[in-house]
Amino acid sequence: MRVGLDVGGTKTDAVAVDDAGTIRGRIRIPTGWGPDAVARTVIDAVAALATEASVDLGAVGSVGVGIPGQIEPGTGRVVHAVNLGVEELDLAAAVGPELGVPVHVENDVKAAALGAHALHARSGGVPGSMAYLNLGTGIAAGIVSDGVLWRGARGTAGEVGHISVDPNGPLCRCGQRGCIEAFAGGGAIAERWARRSALPVRDVFDAADAGDASARQLRAGLARGVAAAVRVLVLTADVDIVVLGGGVTALGERLMTDVAAELSASAEASPFMRSLRLTERIELLPPGSPAAALGAALVGAEGDATHDTEEALVHG
């Protein structure tokens, strides 16, 4: 049995997965703020799987944690998890001794990519390669090829949100202009919309439907940004499918229709783009999907025996 956690800005989703990859228990608890509280959340979530979902913790061989921050490659150390109030935290060292099993830490989007791939494989379709494109406050993707996460040399593979698609576009928080994230990131859209709302992106869609010119512009920028990310992922990694997930995808078909229209427009203009059949290669992750927590449970399991040996050495 493996445990996987998706530590989100407000809630932490935890699953226990058996050796066949079936989810045997799932719970959710609120996420604490700051390094100590985040470490406590991880320990509490594992404990809650036992008390609330009757998971036998004695059968758990590892705990994987997906967390919204940068992970130093090959370590359990997370940096710049700003949504959690964490500047730097060696999560594996902080929770490993109390949990008593190896702890793997992975960026949450990369973990979700692994989980989305596993769910897809189980539902019959076995994509050789897949990209998971997370549309949240920011934009990033995880790429899975032959069941293995592609991290790149320094863990930057899939950071498509900061590819500039317009040198005269809006300023991005990274300092560049016209990044995909500056057009399509939920945070950037909320900032530019500048009206108070619990769901700013939905608000933008509603206002655009009602004819508001600035909302229409923002909505068009969102579709353009997502379509650009899809093109980049297919043209660089030639993934079979791009699965869209994250908070902004709560808009469902309203979002997908816009993105498909944008992809169709570029296909109309270009026989080459048409040959890629991009509109047939995008999919939506169902709401409430356990992909991120499931993927976190699989982190480490995707590797080979060498990886396991390394883990054993690291954790003694």
**Which spans of this chain sit near Zn ion (rule: CB under 5 A)?**
162, 172, 174, 176, 179
Output 72 or 166, the one with its CB closest to Zn ion: 166
State the amino acid at position 218 in one-letter form: L
Output 94 or 160, the one with its CB closest to Zn ion: 160
Output 162 or 281, the one with its CB closest to Zn ion: 162
CB of 161 to Zn ion, least distance (A): 6
CB of 150 to Zn ion, least distance (A): 21
CB of 71 to Zn ion, least distance (A): 20
Output 77 or 224, the one with its CB closest to Zn ion: 224
Beta-carbon contacts of 253 under 8 Å, excluding residues fewer than 6 positions away, are none
CB of 172 to Zn ion, least distance (A): 3
- The secondary structure element, H or E, covering residue 289 is none
- The secondary structure element, H or E, covering residue 261 is helix 253-269
The 3-state DSSP class for residue 56 equals coil
CB count in 10 Å sphere of residue 170: 15
Distances (CA, A) of 222 to 44, 106, 185, 227: 37, 27, 8, 9
State the amino acid at position 255 in one-letter form: L
Output 141 or 296, the one with its CB closest to Zn ion: 141
138: closest CA among 88, 90, 91, 191?
Answer: 191
Phi, psi of 2 (to 5 degrees): -125, 145
CB of 39 to Zn ion, least distance (A): 30
CB of 137 to Zn ion, least distance (A): 13
Helix, strand, coil % in the chain, rounded to nearest 5: 45, 25, 30
Output 225 or 295, the one with its CB closest to Zn ion: 225
